[in-house]
Structure 1
Amino acid sequence: MNPISRGLAALSERLTTPEPAAPTLAATIAARRRFFGNAAVDPETGAVSPDRVLVSWFGCASFAISLGGTVFLLDAWVPRGATSGYVPTTVAEVAALRPAAIFIGHGHFDHAADAGPIAQASGAVVYGTTEHCATVRGQVPDPRFDCVELGSADSSYGDRYDFELAPGVAVTAVRHVHSARTARDESPAGSDPVRPKPCPCDIREFPPSLAHAAHLARNIAAPEGGVLLYQFRTDRFTLTWHDSSGPLLDKAPEVLDVLRSLPASDVHVGAVQGFNQFTNGLRDPRSYIEALRPKVFVPNHHDNWLPVFTARGEAFRSPVEAELARIPEQARPRVRMLVDRDDYLAPGVLEFPLG
């Protein structure tokens, strides 16, 4: 190794964020009350109310969920590197939630870069493809958590995996497609391009620390490893989430058939920002919505998680509303728009009765 490489390796090692320690009960109670609200969390045990569905956003496509009292994460990355402090939480605080599981939609840094340290500290079981598990295990020197492999990057589009997360909480994972630019769709299904103006403004207000920039540099080349959509069901509620919306109409229409076969969603949390927005607008997210038939749609992966390349969520409000207006009124979901930074860790913004 040459002197420059040794110097860079030493600097990266010095700037590595220490793994969070196993959280205390007090830390878990505090974290759960901050993410889910004081009224929803027992102040002595940290148990979360079993009669509500609580969804707390902590940036990009990452969410903390309490479904029937079971706490789990959808993706696991606290956005940082281009900024610091834009999302008001830390890896240690997310680990303190003591999630039972972490579900990885795909392996890119903005979705899975903190999954290993969080699982190591909290004891959460990670779910993802073979490649996701390899990436997450590689984030800590001595992984001591389970990772359940749901197919691989070579699995067929539309492959389905069914299992139980907790008593009364069923999960279905479906292999689908990452967002990708495709040729302009000139059919009636096509949509106009969406090009929100990038917002580098937040770098000035929340400049990145050296440690956070180093964390981003270490993880930025993480492989996709396949893409999974997840649906969570109790006997009274159905929640569906995906952290990328691919061009299914062009590349994998069979996935839409699988999504139509699933129970209709009470709440659908779906990615709206993607590579195809510059050619085909929000056509791809709409195809997921039409197949999943939700009552409520919550956009995600649309905030300013990478300033210069991304925009604030408010820039997507009008495009989302215009795209959904193309769905017949009787089938059109209500939109619960999330806007950064107001809706990060905002108890009550996404709260639903269980049944």
Structure 2
Amino acid sequence: MVADSRMIAARQRFFGADAVDPDSGAVRADRVLVSWFGCASFAVAMGGVVFLLDAWVPRGLTAGYVPTTPEEVAALEPAAIFIGHGHFDHAADAGAIAAAGGAVVHGTASHCATARKQVGGAELACRELGSDASAPGDRYDFELAPGLSVTAVRHLHSARTPRHEGPDASAPVRPRPCLCDIRAYPPGRSETGHLARNLLAPEGGVLLYQFRLGDFVLTWHDSSGPLLDKAPEVLDVLRGLPASDVHIGAVQGYNQFTNGLRDPRSYIEALRPKVFAPNHHDNWLPLITARGEAFVTPLHAELERLPEGSRPEIRMLLDRDDYLAPRRLSFDLAPKG
């Protein structure tokens, strides 16, 4: 069987030509490759298995700011799409990508319903992980492929809470909106129409995912909620998971304006990563967001609060340089034993 040339080209672009077989499109199985395509969306090749974390190519107030399209993402032929939550900036392309490539959507019942609605109610393969009424801390365990295990944990969306005072308080983070990218990458009718159609998509519950293959552990979440104040039991669940080799977590959120990066830090403390990479911190909605460079100093300052021996290495992702740049998040899979 001849591999689809579009799949091979897409995988080479996202994961690097040296990591993809030019004839079959297979991605090398001895690496974990993570390629960012805006906001909290990533294409991942882990042990040769390709999957997506969230499914939205940012557009609406801009066009072309992220140098890919939903069609190219679908051409990766991902085995699965993992939805962190259902808002437009995380899941607005899930239905179209799943329908085009046959990926199995993973998320709550609400996320599955939203994805089906995006493609006119067509049936999509979807693994339901609870519903929008599931309790924070609920846990779901399964295998994506032989040896590749997944744990999903219900947690909270970012939310503004009263200013926390005391030794654990963090300084507010209030970057100035960057409107320059609207001028440099102006949207057309299709981009603004896409945003309008998906703007009011429901959250549908929030899920954190951990992926384990051999001794390697990757954890990802697309929102960081006020767990310390509203759901400390979730932190207990996260502490009970294996420590993360790589943790990709949201840093931009509603509570940054009041409590800085205290909430993202609580996830990092619980998950104990060797490497931390931020997400949901780029200029995906220029009226209210800023470029990732605005978070460099606050993030480093926040993690300086951790004991020196438990501080992760920070792999900062900066728009637009680090879109579709798999070498930024490329890791060896150590042989078992």
Give the Cα separation in 1 of the matches to 2:250 and 2:121.
Answer: 33
TM superposition shift of 1:142: 4.9
Q: Deviations over 1:287-321 (max 9, x none)?
A: 00000000000000000000010000000000000
| Contact 2:36 2:326 survives alignment (8 Å) | no
Q: TM-score, normalised by structure 1?
A: 0.93
Q: Deviations over 1:154-202 (max 9, x none)?
A: 1111000000000010000000000000011113221010001110100
Count, aligned residues:
332
Give the Cα separation in 2 of the matches to 1:188 and 1:206.
Answer: 43
Give the Cα separation in 2 of the matches to 1:63 and 1:338.
Answer: 12
2:218 alignment partner in structure 1: 239
2:257 alignment partner in structure 1: 278
Within the candidate set 5, 11, 32, 1:53 is matched to 32
SS at match of 1:66: strand
1:309 alignment partner in structure 2: 288
Give the Cα separation in 2 of the matches to 1:89 and 1:302.
Answer: 18
2:11 alignment partner in structure 1: 32
Give the Cα separation in 1 of the matches to 2:235 and 2:42.
Answer: 24
Identical aligned pairs, as a percentage? 74
Q: TM-score, normalised by structure 2?
A: 0.98
1:62 alignment partner in structure 2: 41
1:196-211 to 2 correspondences below 5 Å: 196-211=175-190
SS at match of 1:178: coil
| Contact 2:178 2:289 survives alignment (8 Å) | yes
The letter of the residue matching 2:126 is: C
Give the Cα separation in 1 of the matches to 2:255 and 2:238.
Answer: 20
Within the candidate set 316, 332, 337, 2:311 is matched to 332
Unaligned 5+ runs, structure 2 = none
| Contact 1:34 1:347 survives alignment (8 Å) | no
1:346 aligned to 2:325? yes
1:260 alignment partner in structure 2: 239
| Contact 2:239 2:271 survives alignment (8 Å) | yes
1:13 alignment partner in structure 2: none
SS at match of 1:349: helix
2:78 alignment partner in structure 1: 99
The letter of the residue matching 1:339 is: L
TM superposition shift of 1:236: 2.0
1:173 aligned to 2:152? yes
The letter of the residue matching 1:262 is: L
The letter of the residue matching 2:257 is: F
1:18 alignment partner in structure 2: none
Give the Cα separation in 1 of the matches to 2:293 and 2:164.
Answer: 26
Give the Cα separation in 2 of the matches to 1:322 and 1:39.
Answer: 36
| Contact 2:275 2:312 survives alignment (8 Å) | yes
Give the Cα separation in 1 of the matches to 2:117 and 2:212.
Answer: 31
Coordinate RMSD, CA, aligned? 0.7
The letter of the residue matching 2:90 is: H
Give the Cα separation in 1 of the matches to 2:312 and 2:42.
Answer: 20
Give the Cα separation in 1 of the matches to 2:5 and 2:193.
Answer: 31
Give the Cα separation in 2 of the matches to 1:353 and 1:324.
Answer: 25
